[in-house]
Structure 1
Amino acid sequence: MTRPLRKLYVALFLGVLLLLFVWSMRGVLSYDAPKQFTVLDGGLAKTFESHYDKQFPVKNIGTNVWAALDYLLFNEGRPGVLIGEGEWLYSNEEFDAVADGQQQLNDNMALIKGVRDELAERDVLLVLAIVPSKSRLYPEFVGDNRLSSIRENLYQRFLDEARNAGIAAPDLLTTLQAGKSNGQVFLRTDTHWTPLGADLVARQLSETVNRATTLDGEPQVFVTEAEGSAPYMGDLTRFLPLDPLFADLMPAPDQLQKHVTRAPEPAAGADALFSDSEIPVALVGTSYSANPKWNFDGALRQHLQRDLSNHAEDGLGPIIPMLKFLQSDELKNTPPQLVIWEFPERYLPMANDLSAFDTQWLSALKQPDGNRHLIASDRL
């Protein structure tokens, strides 16, 4: 920040404080004490506080004002978002350095290989769906934002490491880059892909699966239909608290097309519900798989022509849902033939809170030689 700009920021800060002070006096002067009130138990204070908050919602005003100053003067939002060009928003997790990032990367790769081995012991094939970062797919809009050194070649390093470990992992970056000519594959105001991006990935994964194995059961015709579009303010707009005072400064919403995948009609005399043993595929991952807005699991059903069980979860990253799945009754009693693990690249160097899991089990899982007998399926 240059010296004149710093002075301007300080002047604006003092000016806003003065304006807020003057405005706040309205709430004080307009207060009328109730005819009956108590002082000792705080009753009078509570009525004054309630009146003052209604007359002067200082928290919301202050939040809007400072957010507007940061946005207009410095092209910045709250920690969590980076503002690109053309109203494109990016998660700072795609760019920032990570404390002990290389060690976390190594630990997470060891866990991934342990998952591969644990599934293989149950004759379950692992397919890793490495989701490239939005900034890698749309670098033309990142503006002045720059990747930290650990993230510069992260996708290719992750892909190479997985393939060197014998894990099936298609190059989804190339798939999505080619798909950009057909439409937007990631949302402009959100961290996630569009239904088009999810469909392209599902199609590529199905081709990878078909080359690697033959899924059990008869193919089933799942049909995906578009059900119109609607304005959608993505999750990254939460880091721009401009509404309501400066709502006009907000990026324009995305247009999100809704897709729904419907199951085939059951044959005459057949049970309408599939039993667990008839579901050959399990999906594990993050909100890219869990959120129905993107219809990723539906697209996978359509292209694989098989039903699947979805174990993805919002807000936990990719590793914790997989560790839960490894200890699930489904894997223990009716293991699928195939597990698709959706894993965004940005999570590879990030730490995970694994305190809910047995440390001895986790340690054994990361060992190159296994010691898989230490796994206790009933412990979380």
Structure 2
Amino acid sequence: MQRTPFSARLYSGALIGLAMAFSFASLIAMAFKHAEVSIGENRTLTQLPGWPRTVAQWDSFPERFDAYFNDNFGLRKLLLRLNSNFTTVMLGRSPSDKVVFGKDDWLFYAGDNSIELYRNQRPFSALQLANTEAALALRMRPLQAANRSYLFVVVPDKHTIYPEMMPTYMSRRDPPSQLDQVAALAEKDRLPVLDLRSTLRQGKADGQVYLKDDSHWTDWGAYLGYRRIMAALPLTDLPVLDLDAKQFAIPSDHAGDLAGMAGLTRRETTRLSELPADRCAFTASAYKPVGDDISIGRTFCPQAKYKIMFIGDSFTEALVKYLSRSFGEVVYVARSGFKPSREIAPLIEREKPDLVIEELAERHLDSLADTVAQEGR
């Protein structure tokens, strides 16, 4: 029988030794590990299940322990990082199906059907458009009857403002997009819908309006949105912050949500605004939950007047420092997607604002039509 060459045996032994050392180090690291939140995955890692005390717990214990082991295996972060780096550098693509790598290191969100929306592959049907109009009417008409104004603001997706940075292999159908359809509907039926696309596209000439590593707008982009919103309001004598691009000069280090999803550790340098010190030192209260997936916070500016309610999503965060300096009280209602009128109407009735502004990201426009079917439940 022919013996295996010494070099081959040495190589095999080294691989086995390396695997055993790595496994041993992983188990040691796992033994001293505490529960943590996985930033890239945006969730808490599974904790060690308790000792089973019932038949049902014994039955599910193997599955629960397997989930714990997979989440907390020592050096897990290193393995995830190596996978991310290999996928990014060697294969030129994102390791997450929620992130698309664009040109010049730009990252784009791919969740919530964003890629299909970019390609204009999900136009609204006639029924969806009718339900969209009905959803806005359900929100608007009671306010009009109470002599209060309503404005619905659509924040465009990043790929809508920076399509030139999207990958060239992603072809697009001819318009209309969902936002095109809603804008046309609003113009035809005189609905109070504010489309920020032209404002942000023009603002690109003076500064970056969306973050490269994040799905949200920059401070400059948020300010442009604020100015356009203020210009559309029917209220009089509003103190509006007047800034130019040169005043957005404070450097800030930002860890983008898309970079985290893609497993990247890089941080992006962005620019924040220098606000006038004498405008309004507003005070703010912490957000408190008031229902399913809805929470409320508020700000007060004694130098201004009017009470408004601003219903929005994660794009609202960058608007707070501007809006809060322009109104006596702002009631911020945080929610994801468009909520049925029956969930929002009681809040409006309780707070009795002079004006209601509702903001929604472009990729969630279909949630308007969805609420119509929920209204009767």
Q: Please indicate the TM-score interval, normalised by the length of the shorter structure.
A: 0.5 to 0.7
> Of 142, 151, 154, which residue of structure 1 is paired with 2:166?
142
Q: Secondary structure at the match of 1:311?
A: strand
Deviation digits for residues 11-64 of structure 1, max 9, x if unmatched?
A: xxxxxxx999754301566899xxxxxxxx99xxxxxxxxx99xx834223322
Deviation digits for residues 117-169 of structure 1, max 9, x if unmatched?
A: 23223222111211111111111100136377698622221212233333223
* Mapped partners of 2:144, 2:116: distance in 1: 35
Q: Secondary structure at the match of 1:319?
A: coil
Q: 1:25 aligned to 2:45?
A: no
Q: Specify which structure has the bigger relative contact order, considering alpha-carbon pairs within 8 angstroms and separated by 6 or more residues.
A: 1
Shift of 1:320: 3.0
Q: CA separation of 1:264/1:286 partners in 2, compared to 1, >3 Å: closer, same or farther?
A: same
TM-score normalised to structure 2 length: 0.64
Q: 1:94-109 maps to which residues of 2 (within 5 A)?
A: 94-96=114-116, 102=125, 107-109=131-133
Map of 2:376 onto structure 1: 363
Map of 1:327 onto structure 2: 346
Answer 1 or 2: which has greater strand percent: 2
Deviation digits for residues 352-371 of structure 1, max 9, x if unmatched?
A: 997xx995xx139xxxxxxx
Q: 1:240 aligned to 2:262?
A: yes
Q: 1:280 aligned to 2:304?
A: no
Alpha-carbon contact 2:220-2:248 (below 8 Å) kept: no
Aligned-residue sequence identity (percent) comes to 19
Alpha-carbon contact 1:158-1:345 (below 8 Å) kept: no
Q: 1:1-380 maps to which residues of 2 (within 5 A)?
A: 23-27=18-22, 57-72=74-89, 73-92=91-110, 93=112, 94-96=114-116, 102=125, 107-144=131-168, 146=170, 153-209=177-233, 213-215=234-236, 219-220=238-239, 228-242=250-264, 247=265, 250=266, 253-257=268-272, 264=280, 279-289=306-316, 291=317, 294=318, 296-302=319-325, 305-313=326-334, 316-320=335-339, 324-328=343-347, 331-350=348-367, 359=374, 362-363=375-376
Q: Secondary structure at the match of 1:282?
A: strand
State how many pairs are aligned. 298
Q: CA separation of 1:189/1:233 partners in 2, compared to 1, >3 Å: closer, same or farther?
A: same
* Mapped partners of 2:342, 2:17: distance in 1: 56
Q: Secondary structure at the match of 1:96?
A: helix
* Mapped partners of 1:358, 1:20: distance in 2: 60
CA RMSD of aligned residues (A): 4.3
Q: CA separation of 1:80/1:307 partners in 2, compared to 1, >3 Å: closer, same or farther?
A: farther
Shift of 1:108: 4.5
Alpha-carbon contact 1:284-1:321 (below 8 Å) kept: no
Uncovered stretches (5+) of structure 2, i.e. residues with no partner:
1-12, 29-50, 53-68, 283-298
Alpha-carbon contact 2:153-2:194 (below 8 Å) kept: yes
Shift of 1:232: 0.7
* Mapped partners of 1:137, 1:99: distance in 2: 18
